[in-house]
Structure 1
Amino acid sequence: MRNRRWIILCIAVVSQVASVGALFGVPFVLPELREAFGLSIAQAGTLAGLPALGLLTTLFGWGVVIDRYGERFTMAASLALTAGCLALLGTVDGVFGAGAVLVCVGAAGGPVNAAGGRLVMSWFEIRRRGLAMGIRQTAQPIGVGGSAALMPLVAERWGFVAAMTLPAALAIVMVPLVLVFARPPRTAGDAADDQGARGDAAPTADDSPAAKPAARSPYRHAVIWRVHGASMLLGVPQFSVMTYALVYLVSEHGWSAPAAGAAVAVTQACGAVNRMLLGVVSDRLGSRLRPVRVLALLSAAALLLLSLSPALVPDAAVPLLLACLVLAVSHNGLTFTAVAETAGMAWSGRAMAAQNSLQALSNTVAPVLMGLVITWLGIDAVYAAAALFCTAAAAVVPAPARRGLRRPRPAG
């Protein structure tokens, strides 16, 4: 019983890795995508944003499914549908067919993040939740890093369709594991048993979604909207840097695609570690949002230096790009946890789905917007534009509140 919550955490992480590979793996096969369909960099970048468009159209509906039917059903259904949609890539001809399938992949793959996040939150008490959610949020950089390391190798040899089967295979493997293990703590007395085993506070019945059907909406207050807004603004530089990193290293610095993919994979591993460390820091500080503001300002400074480096210090461009990749993925665990804690368990499924929806919106807009910037001003101007979004995010982050993280005083 003591290890059950860590098993749940591992299931949530690996499931999210499969979902991330499906949703965000396309940027790492852009050279093969361009060659297959005769696309420009901007056009291929737009195609890479189509899964985010599909994500945007269905996420809030998935949030309702999570709150009504639970995390296990939602995660299993999403993983199975994602694998099925990816299998369709081998049956379509032409860029429009591939684009339609990528939209469907995004529509199917969205709820794993929200469902896995709520499942992990229900198993961990608030003083360990920052660490737990930080570990769970490592799934995104791990998924992106694994895609960056493996998919260019597969795509270079067998094409982009073969590369996209990698996340499909992982998704199929995870479906039975989710069905067997991904249970909430209040089913079959698990929470009471686990509380006695680990000696800390388990989630109470009042924390379950069903226990608060009439809970007041957190969207009556500005705080949750500001957290959503900051996360959405930070999503633009995150997706912009990730989308064009491999192309930038290949076209501007003469790297091979596998070497560039390996470098991006290393930065994602560093970003995963950074998310865990920041989760611990947020537990110690009693604030999820204070580190987010610092990250936004650091990212803005690094992106501005990157945009100026070709003219001032050309040799610094690649190190700065790698640093920006690490910083860009570091905020997600903090903002995701802040949204869920602000919303409360009764609204957490819908709030996390709304968080993902807004991030999907920024991920959809980012490649189109930055494609126009590249067309008009060149790729270096993308980083300057991304720095503006980071600065805006730092201004939007609400003042941190410590009250929600304080340990309750014992009775008497």
Structure 2
Amino acid sequence: MRQEAVMMRWVILAQLCLCMLSYALIFQSIPPIMSLVISQFKLSHYQAGLLMSLFALPGILVSLPAGMVADRYGVKPVGIFSFLLALLGSFLVANGPSFEMLLVGRILAGIGASSLVITIPQAIAQWFSDRHMGIAMGIYNTAMPIGTIISLNGLSHMAGVWGWRAAVWATVFFTAIIFVIFAVFYRQPDHKDRLENQGKKDQNREGIGTSIFFVGFSWALFNASIISLFTFAPDFLVSRGMTLDHAGFSTSLVMIASMCLSPIVGLIIDKIGQKELFIAAGGLGMAVFIALIPGIGGAFSLFLLCVGVASALIPVSVFSLAADVVSFQRLGLGYGILSMLNNVGMFVGPQAAGLGRDLTGSYQISFLVMAFFAFFCTITILSLWLKRRGASSGNR
């Protein structure tokens, strides 16, 4: 790759991280204000969970078409359209006079955000195909933790002072600024560099095979667990006597650990590989610590930090592994499959956890459901590891 392109790709990575940060703020704008929304609209916990689940529902339907369109027409046109839909949906949430209007807004925001979250890793994989994929994905994966930390601490504080609508408006204004930056400054890799990278890597990749579905299902199970945790942990901690601000900070410790460790994990997998085993270890660690949280008398912050350390092993490895198992020219479709299955997990997870809370009146079952999802993330990715190991042995 030419020297100017090498320098440019780090600038592009910074732009893409800002895009992911805006996605994180939109997506995670509900958990820190959930107690206030439940109170104002007299909602059950199942209904409140719908505000997270219905954000993910459109992604189940639009992810594959969005990935194919991005493969055909490029990242930028799809990204611009995605930003506009996300902004429209968030605007409706900020102004919604009823619970039904909030649901409509979250669905529209989910359509835009689901498409956006396909194009961002696709763009990174295009720009970093020749080298530094792990560290690039590690840096990219700090954006979601940073956004979640800002949301759980900053938005919860804003909601407490100025009301929950002010917190949502803050996400709208920030996303509008990032949209302008992306629309004006983002560009595709040069055609010459794309062909060079493709020639170097595609001989070791499938077009679209079964491996990407194993990666996608493990990603879905991880997100079913972690999004359910972010959705209900603040309310659980408030029920145990914490203030809203304290509960938001304690929950954000999951993402603080992930933010700090993601680039390190990226560097390590660049050196040694073994992405499947990193994912498996992370899922198992999450399952153990999440299952223990409701039964402890205190030290919630410590256990949430441990969940964060375990979860940090997964996103970087998943996004890097996805780029390993699909061909360069099908990256959009590959990440579309990843996003589609991710949205299945985000749709199912909060509803299942919220329903468990409503049926039992306790969060004990909800946390066991989250742990179950994390454990089966490990089982799924180990199945892929065995499959690929067997294929490698057969080719010797």
Q: TM-score, normalised by structure 1?
A: 0.85
Per-residue Cα deviation, 1:111-163 (whole angstroms, up to 9, x for no partner): 22221112112222454111111111211111111111211122223322221
Shift in alpha-carbon separation, 1:286–1:327, aligned structure 2, 3 A: closer
Q: Aligned equivalents of 2:105 and 2:234: distance in 1?
A: 23
Q: Aligned equivalents of 1:257 and 1:305: distance in 2?
A: 22
Kindly indicate whether residue 250 of structure 2 is the aligned counterpart of residue 260 of structure 1: no
Kindly indicate whether residue 274 of structure 2 is the aligned counterpart of residue 287 of structure 1: yes
Partner amino acid for 1:34? Answer: I
Identity %: 21
Shift in alpha-carbon separation, 1:335–1:269, aligned structure 2, 3 A: same
Structure 1 residue aligned with 2:82: 78
CA contact (8 A) 2:353 2:367 kept: no
> 1:235 Cα shift?
1.6
CA contact (8 A) 2:283 2:378 kept: yes
Structure 2 residue aligned with 1:180: 184
Structure 2 residue aligned with 1:227: 215
- Partner SS state of residue 185, structure 1: coil
Q: Aligned equivalents of 2:100 and 2:261: distance in 1?
A: 38
Structure 1 residue aligned with 2:392: none
> 1:340 Cα shift?
2.4
Per-residue Cα deviation, 1:144-193 (whole angstroms, up to 9, x for no partner): 11111211122223322221122221221122321333212225x6x3xx
Structure 1 residue aligned with 2:357: 374
> 1:102 Cα shift?
0.9
CA contact (8 A) 1:75 1:112 kept: yes
Structure 2 residue aligned with 1:104: 108
Partner amino acid for 1:11? Answer: Q
Q: Aligned equivalents of 2:219 and 2:375: distance in 1?
A: 12
CA contact (8 A) 1:237 1:328 kept: no
- Partner SS state of residue 63, structure 2: helix
CA contact (8 A) 1:300 1:391 kept: yes
Task: Decide which of 399, 405, 409 is 2:385's aligned counterpart.
Answer: 399
Unaligned 5+ runs, structure 2: 390-396
Kindly indicate whether residue 174 of structure 2 is the aligned counterpart of residue 170 of structure 1: yes
Q: Aligned equivalents of 1:82 and 1:134: distance in 2?
A: 25
Q: Aligned equivalents of 1:393 and 1:359: distance in 2?
A: 12
Q: Aligned equivalents of 1:105 and 1:165: distance in 2?
A: 14
- Partner SS state of residue 399, structure 1: helix
Mapping for residues 24-43 of structure 1, pairs under 5 Å: 24-43=28-47
Shift in alpha-carbon separation, 1:45–1:11, aligned structure 2, 3 A: same
Mapping for residues 321-400 of structure 1, pairs under 5 Å: 321-328=304-311, 330-377=313-360, 378-397=362-381, 398-399=384-385
Per-residue Cα deviation, 1:373-401 (whole angstroms, up to 9, x for no partner): 11233202222222222222212112176
Structure 2 residue aligned with 1:406: none
Q: Aligned equivalents of 1:326 and 1:166: distance in 2?
A: 29
Farther off after superposition, 101-110 or 259-268: 259-268
CA contact (8 A) 2:38 2:44 kept: yes
- Partner SS state of residue 188, structure 2: coil
> 1:307 Cα shift?
4.1
CA contact (8 A) 1:19 1:167 kept: no
Structure 1 residue aligned with 2:226: 238
Q: Aligned equivalents of 1:205 and 1:248: distance in 2?
A: 48
Unaligned 5+ runs, structure 1: 192-201, 403-412
Q: Aligned equivalents of 2:37 and 2:181: distance in 1?
A: 33
Q: Aligned equivalents of 2:277 and 2:94: distance in 1?
A: 46
What is the Cα-based RMSD across aligned positions, in Å?
Answer: 2.6
Per-residue Cα deviation, 1:321-374 (whole angstroms, up to 9, x for no partner): 332245345412211221122112111101111111111111111111111211
Partner amino acid for 1:204? Answer: E
Shift in alpha-carbon separation, 1:16–1:395, aligned structure 2, 3 A: same
CA contact (8 A) 2:92 2:105 kept: yes
CA contact (8 A) 1:264 1:325 kept: no
Partner amino acid for 2:196? Answer: T
> 1:205 Cα shift?
6.5
Task: Decide which of 290, 304, 312 is 1:303's aligned counterpart.
Answer: 290
